[in-house]
Structure 1
C-alpha cells in the first residue's frame, strides 16, 4: 500500500506541472480559435506553438535583452503585478532557467546537539546582505504539500548529497515513502560539510 502511495505521489509531482502547462496552452489555443473568423482544425494549436517558439527565440537573442529588461522595469513599477510577475519569473528560472537553484541537494543539521537531519536544496551560497557570514540559504520542501521553508544556516551545518533533484524532491514531498532506487546517494560516512571557502557569491 505504501508503495502504491509512493507511485501516486511521484506521478502527482510529475503530472502537476505538466497539467498546468497543458491548461495554459489549451486556454491560449481556445482563445485564438475564438478570435479566428473561420474554422480550420489545428490553426489555434499551430499559432500557439509558433508564438511560444518565437518568444523563446527572442528571449535567447542578445538584441532582445534590452526589450526584456524594459518589460521587467515596467512591471516592477506596478506593486501587485510586480509581486506576481517577479515570483513567477524567479520560480521558473529556478527550475529551467540559466540560474537553476534547485540542483544542489543537501542535508542540514538544524540543531548542533541533535543527530536529526533535514533534506532540502541549497539555493544560495552567500547571504551576506543579511549580515550573516559563512551562511547559506537552504529551502526545505514540505511533505504532502507544494510549500516549503527557507532557512539561513551556517555553511558547516550543510552537507552535499549525491542525489538527483527530481528524486529528492519526490522523496521529500512523499514523506519518505517513495523508493529512491533511481538516485545515487553518498554514504553518510563519506559526506563532507560545505567548507567556508565554497560560500562565494552566487548571483
Structure 2
C-alpha cells in the first residue's frame, strides 16, 4: 500500500503542473471568449470566433513582458520566498520554473544536442542534450550530465556519462528534440 501511495504521489507530481497550466489557460480563454463574444457582437454585428484565444495570447505575452521589468521583480521575489516555505507548492513551482527556464529561459539547458556511445561492441548510440558539461560539484570532473528524452512522452532520463563518449551533433535543438520525441519517425 505504501508503494501505491508513493507511485500515486509521483504521478501527481508529474501531471499536476501541466494540468494546472492547461486549466488556467483554458479557463482564461473560455472566460475571455464568452465575455468578448457577448460584448463585441452588438458592436460589430457578428461573432468573431477565436477572439478569446487571440486576446489570451496577448494577455499572457504582456504578463511575460511585465514579468521581465524591474517593477515586478521585487514582487516576484516576495512571492517566490512565500512559495519556498510551502513544501509541496515549492516542489511543484521550482520544478515547473526549472523546466520552463530550461526551454525558454535565459539559461537554456537543451541547446546542445549530442550522441552518446552506449554499447561500443554493438555500436549503439543514444541522442540527448548536455545539461552540464562537468559534474565537478560532486567531484566528477570527467562526467557530463546528459538528458535523454523518451519518445512519445514528456519524460526522460538523466545519465552521467564519461565526457569522451559525448559527441556534439550538427542539428538544432528543436529538430533533435522533435526526432527523439517522435521516436525517430520525423525527418532528421
TM-score scaled by structure 1? 0.66
SS at 1:40 equivalent: helix
- RMSD between aligned residues: 3.0
Residue aligning to 1:97: 105
1:173 aligns with 2:181: yes
**What CA deviation, in whole Å up to 9, does each residue of 1:20-64 have, x standing for no partner?**
988743311334577x7x941479667645542442222211232
What residue is the counterpart of 2:92 in the other structure? 84
C-alpha distance in 1, partners of 2:87/2:169? 39
Secondary structure at 1:110 match in 2: strand
Q: Which runs of no fewer than 5 residues in structure 2 stay unpaired?
A: 1-19, 41-47
Residue 160 of structure 1, CA deviation: 0.5
TM-superposition CA deviations, 1:82-131 (whole Å, max 9, x none): 11111111111111111111111001123566532110011122322222
Give the one of 108, 115, 119 matched to 1:107: 115
State which of 68, 72, 77 in structure 2 corresponds to 1:69. 77
TM-aligned CA distance change 1:53 to 1:117, over 3 Å: closer
Question: Higher helix proportion, which one?
Answer: 2
1:132 maps onto 2:131 in alignment: no
Residue 59 of structure 2 is aligned to residue 60 of structure 1:
no
Aligned to 2:27: 27
Cα 1:128–1:44 shift into 2, 3 Å? same
Structure 1 distance, partners of 2:125, 2:57, is 45
Give the SS at the match of 1:163. Answer: coil
Find the counterpart in structure 1 of residue 12 from structure 2.
none
Aligned length: 159
Higher relative contact order (CA 8 A, sep 6+): 1
> Structure 1 pair 39/122, CA: closer, same or farther in 2 (3 Å)?
same
The question of 1:40 aligning with 2:43 is answered no
Q: TM-score, normalised by structure 2?
A: 0.70
Query: CA shift at 1:75, angstroms?
Result: 0.9
Partner of 2:45: none
* Per-residue deviation, 1:78: 0.9
Q: Look up the match of 1:186.
A: none
